[in-house]
């Protein structure tokens, strides 16, 4: 009887072994999971392997054995992508096993640091001495370059779109104002920053941009103006800061003009944001006066002299408050008038009128102060345009009987309150012409005056 004893075995899944019936020179029939008629059979599947052995004496013996499979360690390392210059880790898992990294991986630890593109392979052997191999690809992605553009400026009331140059559905975006879109619309001065992340490679790029909002100057020339001829007015842009440029090529905040024109001005804090204004100036002719030149006349000869300022204006104002174009005067003096037209353009004119009348002197030779008829009762000098009047009356012995410095005050024929005798008396008169008279007077005049009944 052949002796047949095949032992149970245990192998790692995926491996194979051999069951050997021994008993050389016999015949063999394998059944169960075994197959064939050889002394041994290859086994890789879990189960029962049976062999029948017949020797030369045709004696038969049978034996069975069980093959069990040990699970392999599970090695699962996934492909990865990283940003150029970064690194990552491949982890084989299966704590407590032994490891051997190859390819781009190195070392015998559970994990290996990866920074170079290529295949990373690890062999993992567990406590059952079962070995599994895993591989993964590391892809290197070039670093992203985020560019939001150059710093920029906008005018008050405008807005600008800030956009990433990196547009990809696999990217995420985060702005400094917590917006998560690839672009934002902004209208406020400030620094705006963005961080863009590649969800696959985890590459990160950032950039910032400064936005300046430029204020418009408050430019206002006002309404169109009228300029009185010969005068000038100031045009004020009311700009206290920034740049001002007039159509007259002047660059000051205000200018003076005395001409008719359409004046244009541009002002800006930055040339990007100019403001414009226009004002029309019109020159208004001055009113005219018809007052004559300074003159001399005699009001005795020309009572009620009229001064005519003309009729080209809308209002007249004389120095005495009169408001008519024509002023009647009856004495010498300087007369001024302000003439104003409908556009409030005014001139002031004046004329000096001197009174020059012919000088005359009349001294009577007799008077009757005592006949009580009320006629010719006073010795009075008559005349016109005289000044520095001085009249004296003497008796024949040179005694001063009467003296007057007033041409309207005459002698009543008395001396010290008593009537004088009927007689002839001497008078002396000192008098001067009031004006440059054509009549020449001696500085002293002398004659006699008779007191009669």
Residue among 369, 322, 317, 372 nearest 339 (CA): 317
Query: How many Å apart are CA 155 and CA 275, to the nearest integer?
Result: 11
On whether residue 282 sits in a domain, the answer given is no
Of 119, 141, 163, the one marking the end of a domain is 141
The pLDDT, as a whole number, for residue 437 is: 55
The pLDDT, as a whole number, for residue 387 is: 87
Radius of gyration of the chain (CA): 69
If asked whether residues 446 and 369 sit together in one domain, one would say yes
Residue among 278, 252, 253 nearest 264 (CA): 278
If asked whether residues 126 and 190 sit together in one domain, one would say no
**How many structural domains compose the chain?**
6
On whether residue 196 sits in a domain, the answer given is yes
Query: How many Å apart are CA 254 and CA 261, to the nearest integer?
Result: 16
On whether residue 220 sits in a domain, the answer given is no
On whether residue 219 sits in a domain, the answer given is no
A 10 A CB-CB count for 210 gives 13
On whether residue 107 sits in a domain, the answer given is yes
- Structural domain including 235 reads 225-277
If asked whether residues 365 and 433 sit together in one domain, one would say yes
CB of 200 within 8 A of CB of 137?
Answer: no
If asked whether residues 369 and 423 sit together in one domain, one would say yes
Residue among 423, 432, 434, 430 nearest 444 (CA): 430
On whether residue 290 sits in a domain, the answer given is no
The pLDDT, as a whole number, for residue 300 is: 74
Q: Which two three-digit tokens encode residue 299?
A: 């009001």
In CATH, what number is assigned to the domain containing residue 34? 2.60.40.10
On whether residue 75 sits in a domain, the answer given is no
If asked whether residues 351 and 364 sit together in one domain, one would say no
On whether residue 421 sits in a domain, the answer given is yes
Of 303, 333, 355, the one marking the end of a domain is 355
pLDDT digits (tens), the chain, 453 positions: 899 999 999 999 999 999 999 999 999 999 999 999 999 999 999 999 999 999 999 999 999 999 999 999 999 999 998 888 889 999 999 999 999 999 999 999 999 999 999 999 999 999 999 999 999 999 998 888 999 999 999 999 999 999 999 999 999 999 999 999 999 999 999 999 999 999 888 889 999 999 999 999 999 999 999 999 999 999 999 999 899 999 999 999 999 999 999 999 999 999 999 999 999 999 999 999 999 899 988 887 777 899 999 988 999 999 999 999 999 998 889 999 999 999 999 999 999 998 887 788 899 999 999 888 889 999 999 988 888 999 999 999 999 999 999 999 999 999 999 999 999 999 999 988 876 555 556 668 999 999 998
Of 116, 141, 166, the one marking the end of a domain is 141
The pLDDT, as a whole number, for residue 435 is: 67
Residue among 351, 362, 367, 257 nearest 309 (CA): 351
The pLDDT, as a whole number, for residue 202 is: 84
If asked whether residues 441 and 385 sit together in one domain, one would say yes
The pLDDT, as a whole number, for residue 142 is: 85
Q: What are the C-alpha distances in Å from 420 to residues 404, 429, 453?
A: 17, 20, 12
């Amino acid at each position: 009887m052949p002796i047949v004893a095949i032992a149970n075995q245990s192998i790692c899944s995926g491996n194979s072994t051999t069951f050997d019936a021994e008993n050389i020179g016999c015949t063999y029939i394998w059944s169960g999971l075994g197959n064939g008629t050889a002394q041994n059979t290859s086994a890789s599947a879990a189960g029962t392997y049976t062999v029948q052995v017949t020797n030369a004496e045709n004696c038969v013996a049978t034996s069975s054995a069980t093959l069990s499979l040990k699970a392999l360690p599970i090695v699962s390392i996934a492909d990865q992508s990283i940003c150029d210059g970064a690194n990552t880790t491949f982890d084989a898992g299966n704590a407590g096993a032994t490891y051997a990294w190859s390819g781009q991986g190195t070392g015998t630890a559970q994990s290996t640091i990866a920074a170079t593109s290529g295949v990373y392979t690890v062999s993992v052997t567990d406590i059952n001495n079962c070995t599994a191999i895993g591989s993964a690809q590391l892809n290197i992605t070039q670093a992203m370059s985020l560019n939001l553009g150059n710093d920029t400026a906008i005018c008050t009331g405008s807005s600008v779109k800030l956009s990433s140059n990196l547009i990809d559905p696999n990217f995420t975006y985060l702005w400094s104002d917590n917006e998560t879109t690839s672009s934002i619309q902004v209208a406020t001065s400030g620094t705006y920053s963005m961080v863009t992340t590649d969800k696959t490679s985890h590459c990160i790029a950032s950039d910032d941009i400064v936005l300046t909002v430029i204020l418009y100057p408050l430019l206002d020339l006002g309404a169109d103006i009228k300029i009185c001829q010969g005068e000038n007015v100031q045009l004020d842009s009311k700009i206290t800061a920034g740049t001002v440029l007039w159509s007259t090529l002047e660059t000051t905040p205000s200018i003076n003009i005395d001409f008719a024109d359409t004046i244009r001005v541009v002002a800006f804090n930055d040339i990007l944001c100019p403001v414009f204004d226009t004002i029309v100036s019109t020159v208004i002719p001055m009113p005219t006066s018809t007052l004559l030149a300074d003159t001399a006349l005699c009001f005795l000869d020309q009572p009620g002299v009229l001064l005519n300022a003309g009729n080209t204006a809308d209002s007249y104002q004389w120095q005495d408050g009169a408001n008519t174009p024509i002023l009647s005067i009856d004495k010498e003096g300087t007369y001024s008038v302000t003439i104003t037209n409908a556009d409030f353009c005014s001139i002031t004119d004046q004329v000096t009128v001197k009174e020059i009348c012919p000088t005359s002197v009349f001294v009577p030779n007799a008077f009757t102060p005592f006949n009580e008829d009320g006629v010719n009762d006073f010795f009075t000098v008559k005349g016109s345009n005289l000044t520095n009047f001085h009249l004296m009356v003497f008796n024949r012995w040179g005694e001063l009987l009467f003296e007057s410095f007033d041409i309207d005050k005459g002698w009543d024929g008395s001396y010290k309150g008593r009537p004088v005798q009927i007689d002839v008396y001497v008078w002396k008169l000192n008098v001067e012409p009031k004006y440059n008279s054509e009549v020449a007077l001696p500085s002293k005049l002398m004659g006699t005056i008779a007191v009669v009944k």
